[in-house]
Amino acid sequence: MDELKRLIAVARQAIEIERAETPAFDREDYYGWRRHHEAAVNKLKATLEAEGATFAYKAAHDHWVKLAGIRSSSTSGFVGALHNWVRAASQRIEGAAR
């Protein structure tokens, strides 16, 4: 469980970095915002891939991440899928503690 706790911390930190590096949505400069957002998401993915994560999508609305034997998906993108992974991993730890 210590490794899973460490991976949760890594995932949470990657999410925080993505948020910090993605500027507020700018309708006037959508393509500039999109470039920053994609770069931040790619950095998030690289961080977690170095930890053994797999990211994939089937369609524009079905993104998923698998890490430490836990697979989570989201229709809102890879960041949403990683949020869901953190929740699922936390629930696994809570279940093991019972």
Tally Cβ neighbours within 10 Å of residue 34.
13
Q: What is the pTM of this model?
A: 0.90
Strand order in the sheet with 62-67: 54-59, 62-67, 70-74
pLDDT tens, position by position, 59-81: 878 999 999 999 999 999 999 99
Helices (H), 22-57: 30-49
Where in the sequence is the domain holding 63, given as residue range(s)? 2-97
Q: What is the mean pLDDT of residues 42-53?
A: 97
List Cβ neighbours of 47 (8 Å cut-off, separation of 6 or more).
Answer: 10, 14, 17
pLDDT digits (tens, 9 = 90+) for 5-47: 999 999 999 999 999 999 999 899 999 999 999 999 999 999 9
Angle at 58 between CA 77 and CA 76, to 5 degrees: 15
Structurally, how many domains does the chain consist of?
1
CB atoms under 10 Å from CB of 53, counted, come to 23
